Amino acid sequence: MNDLNILLAGFGGQGILFTGKVIAYAGLMEGKEVSWLPSYGPEMRGGTANCSVCLSENKIGSPLVTNPDVLVAMNLPSLEKFENDVVPGGIIIVDSSIIAKKVQRTDVKTIYIPASEIAEENGIKGAANMVILGKLFKETCFCSEENLDKGLQKTIPPKKMDLLDKNRLCIKLGREN
Amino acid sequence: MSDKVLMKGNEAIAEAAIAAGCRHFFGYPITPQTEVAAYMSKRMPKIGGVYLQAESEVASINMVLGAGAAGVRVMTSTSSPGISLMSEGISYIAGSDVPCLIVNVERGGPGLGGIQPSQSDYFQATKATGHGDFHMLVFAPSTVQETVDLISDAFDLGDKYRMPTMILSDGLLGQMMEPVVLPEAKDPTDNKEWAVKGHQGKRAHNVVNSLYIDPKELEDLNIARFEKYKKIMETEQRAEEYLVDDADIVLVAFGASSRIAHSAVDMARKQGIKAGLIRPITLWPFPEKTIKKHIDHAKVFLSVEMNMGQMVEDVRLTVQDKKPVHFFGRTGGMVPTPKEVLEQIVKLNGGEC
Amino acid sequence: MSKVMGERPKALLDVPLHYCPGCTHGIVHRLVAEVIDELGIEGKTVGVASVGCSVFTYNYFGCDMVQAPHGRAPAVATGVKRARPDNVVFTYQGDGDLAAIGMGETVHAAARGENIVAIFINNAIYGMTGGQMAPTTLPGQVTQTTPYGRDTSVAGNPIRVCELLSSVKGVALAERVTVDCVKNVKAAKKAIKKAFEYQMAGKGYCIVEVVSTCPTNWGMAPGEALQWLRDNMLPYYPLGVYKDVGEEGEQ
């Protein structure tokens, strides 16, 4: 796999930062150089959150992803804000249960996945981020299956370890849908 | 050695300080450094340390003065406007020869400015953190791991030279997560002969003080302190060189902007442009020795900063008109992109972009 | 046969003090030193000098001393005490230092119940800088910067520090004393001793406000200044105990 710059964006509370951290940890398990950078400050309290994740074979320069290889958009403002920044040939993953609008770009691969619906149908409301992670994993193979699971285990706080299997299920659903 | 863990820069600052034996932290909340304080407030009570949220940055730096004078490893952290408030205390600390660690997770200024990453406190950190003739050691890490490593050195060198030291970080390095290996815990010995901790009837009283009414006495003391600074300038300069030996275009960049400059150098090399990077790790003392080594073969220097051009003045002082020194920067919390820096490199190489 | 009636307290070093004739700093220094001697704590005491006339206290007390920026003595003392909880820590501050530039540090140290003693010299004027208005300068009082008398509609009102701090939870002792006569000197020493004892018992922040004179900047002879203190200062700053948590500590 080549270097991968990922930008995840959505509302606060959708688990954007958490998802980024799972990816970064999985990358670390894979032996890559990794970085994770959140948006911070009042902007977060205003309801939007985004997070840059870089995975590389080499030393990472700027951790701020301005031209992502992969954009994950979990709300409409994020899609509108970042769509044009994606590198040609890149990937845009859209939670289609939240965003009705279609991607205008034709030079990128667009994946629509009703992540929120899928999570809810399977009784795990609020885990759309993990469904998307599963999809992202399937599309980019940024690490081994084993390391993805290790990344997940490293990221879930010890007190919330009872949610591990539910998260695993959502990742699986994302890969299959 | 522990395993590699992902840590936020700010949290790594706190954990590294604890590993370095720091058990006293005084601070005041300000974005984007608040995680340092939050982390300390969680950890310190569990390890018998002191975390205290002061009523202001003015108070927190003076609590640092008190604890430092009492001979313990002590630190504070803040962001740019907080350093302005602390400048009085920092001057007293320097004038009293008290070691301590001050962390500045910089944000954009002037005034309330913004909360996004910036390097616009370079002048403040290296030239005039407070009133009077003094310097402090200033370290500029560029990764979370390096932040961790430099904190230990900053404490040790502060004790060695009896002076305040600063870690100049920024919102980018403070907020980002990267893998780190935390160092082994240190337990510094409590052996500062000059400290105020009660003479126990065994010696004359110690006085930690910065007041000298007799001008000759103050001059002598300042001269002695500058003799110490001279020694530090000779022995403590640090810089990293990346592809500089054959470089025509030598970039100079520290901290967060050095990461971007590093990427830009790689991109330039792919285009066949001989670019290289000198990354100052100590900002005071400024690593002039490293820069001087490359004046002869370099065609041009380019200082890349997240401000309106501050370190570039030190680069110019060092290069002394022997070669042109240019500047590129973004400010106000904007982070330059490698592409923007590459454009400057291409232009300096005589090409069009 | 000559007999030694009184000696210099051990905790006061054998150096000439720089204070003006008739200034009450010397008496208060002596009282603090006597208390330190009587409690046998010089070896574990750390004093914090402030900025003002008392800036040189670090040259006078035999215990370890640290000199603080103007107004920041409570913060510096907090740092010392938190680093060395077994030490006895006191600040020695004037009215400008404690009640003007350092009011924030004072109130917050008090509210934290910081285990320190503040010796507070209230002489209603800035002495060191040559007699300017202090936060405790009386209404109508002439100073270098209130040449027509303090006009409270312009320059604000004098602050009664003990009254103010008595409302702060965390304060163990707030007592106002003076040293104009033998009886009051004895009472002042008692208060200072109680403050140090409270600190050693871990009761919290203690302040002893000493209503003092500044003959030089008041433009009076020492005896005259003491009378002016009785006639003008004490009515506005009544002596007494404003807060004392007693044996039990704060409830």
Per DSSP, the residues of C170-224 read: TEEEEEEEE-SSHHHHHHHHHHHHHHHHHHHTT--EEEEEEE---HHHHT--HHH
Give chain B's length: 353
CATH code, domain with C160? 3.40.50.970
Residues 6+ apart with CB under 8 A from B185: B18, B19, B21
Measure B339 CA to nearest chain A CA, in Å. Answer: 11
Residue C179 CA: distances (Å) to CA of C12, C161, C213, C234, C240? 18, 18, 9, 12, 13
pTM for this model (two decimals): 0.95
Q: Which of A64, A152, A155 to mutate to test the interface with B (most CBs of B within 10 A)?
A: A64
Residue B342 CA: distances (Å) to CA of A89, B275, B348? 22, 10, 10
pLDDT in tens, B14-46: 999 999 999 999 999 999 999 999 999 999 999
Which of B26, B200, B207 shows the shortest C-beta gap to C65?
Answer: B207
Which of B6, B177, B259 shows the shortest C-beta gap to A61?
Answer: B259
Measure B176 CA to nearest chain A CA, in Å. Answer: 4
State which residues of chain A have pLDDT below 50: none
Query: What is the tally of structural domains in chain A?
Result: 1
Chain A residues within an 8 Å CB radius of B4? 28
Chain B residues within an 8 Å CB radius of C86? 198
Query: What is the tally of structural domains in chain C?
Result: 1
Which of B26, B207, B209 shows the shortest C-beta gap to C79?
Answer: B26
pLDDT at residue B233 in the model: 98
Q: In this structure, which amino acid lies at residue C215?
A: P
pLDDT in tens, A63-101: 999 999 999 999 999 999 999 999 999 999 999 999 999
State which residues of chain C have pLDDT below 50: none
pLDDT at residue A45 in the model: 56
pLDDT grade for B308, boundaries at 50, 70 and 90:
very high
pLDDT in tens, C59-101: 999 999 999 999 999 999 999 999 999 999 999 999 999 999 9
Chain A residues within an 8 Å CB radius of B31? 40-41
Measure A38 CA to nearest chain B CA, in Å. Answer: 7
Q: How far apart are CA C246 and CA B49, in angstroms?
A: 30
Q: Using only the alpha carbons of chain A, give its radius of gyration.
A: 15
Which of C45, C78, C104 shows the shortest C-beta gap to B66?
Answer: C78
Q: Is B206 in contact with C64 (Cβ distance < 8 A)?
A: yes
Average pLDDT for residues B215-239, to the nearest whole number? Answer: 98
Q: How far apart are CA C120 and CA C109, in angstroms?
A: 14
pLDDT at residue B193 in the model: 97
Measure B208 CA to nearest chain C CA, in Å. Answer: 5
Chain B residues within an 8 Å CB radius of C13? 205
Q: Which domains does chain B have, with CATH numbers?
A: 4-189+206-235 (3.40.50.970), 239-348 (3.40.50.920)
pLDDT at residue A122 in the model: 87
Chain B residues within an 8 Å CB radius of C48? 66
Chain B residues within an 8 Å CB radius of A37? 172, 175-177
Query: Within a domain: residue C1?
Result: no
> What are φ and ψ of residue B6, in 5° steps?
-85, 125
Is the distance from CB of C72 to CB of C102 less than 8 angstroms? yes
Query: Within a domain: residue C17?
Result: no
Q: How far apart are CA B68 and CA B63, in angstroms?
A: 8
Cβ of residue A37 closer than 8 Å to a chain B Cβ: yes
Q: How many helices (H) and strands (E) does chain A have?
A: 7, 6
Chain B residues within an 8 Å CB radius of C77? 66
Chain C residues within an 8 Å CB radius of B24? 79, 82-83
Q: Is B260 in contact with A37 (Cβ distance < 8 A)?
A: no
Query: Within a domain: residue C249?
Result: no
pLDDT at residue C6 in the model: 81
- Domain hosting C229: range is 25-243
Q: Is A28 in contact with B337 (Cβ distance < 8 A)?
A: no
Measure A61 CA to nearest chain B CA, in Å. Answer: 4
Measure B85 CA to nearest chain C CA, in Å. Answer: 13
- Domain hosting A11: range is 4-176
- The answer to whether the bond into C238 is cis (omega within 30° of 0) is no
ipTM of model: 0.94
Which of B26, B197, B207 shows the shortest C-beta gap to C87?
Answer: B197
pLDDT at residue B213 in the model: 94
Q: Is B59 in contact with C58 (Cβ distance < 8 A)?
A: no
Which of C46, C67, C76 shows the shortest C-beta gap to B198?
Answer: C46
Query: Within a domain: residue C6?
Result: no
Query: Within a domain: residue C165?
Result: yes
Q: Is B176 in contact with A35 (Cβ distance < 8 A)?
A: yes
Which of B32, B171, B338 shows the shortest C-beta gap to A61?
Answer: B338
Query: Within a domain: residue C250?
Result: no
pLDDT in tens, B106-151: 999 999 999 999 999 999 999 999 999 999 999 999 999 999 999 9
pLDDT grade for B1, boundaries at 50, 70 and 90:
very low
Query: Within a domain: residue C176?
Result: yes
pLDDT at residue C197 in the model: 98
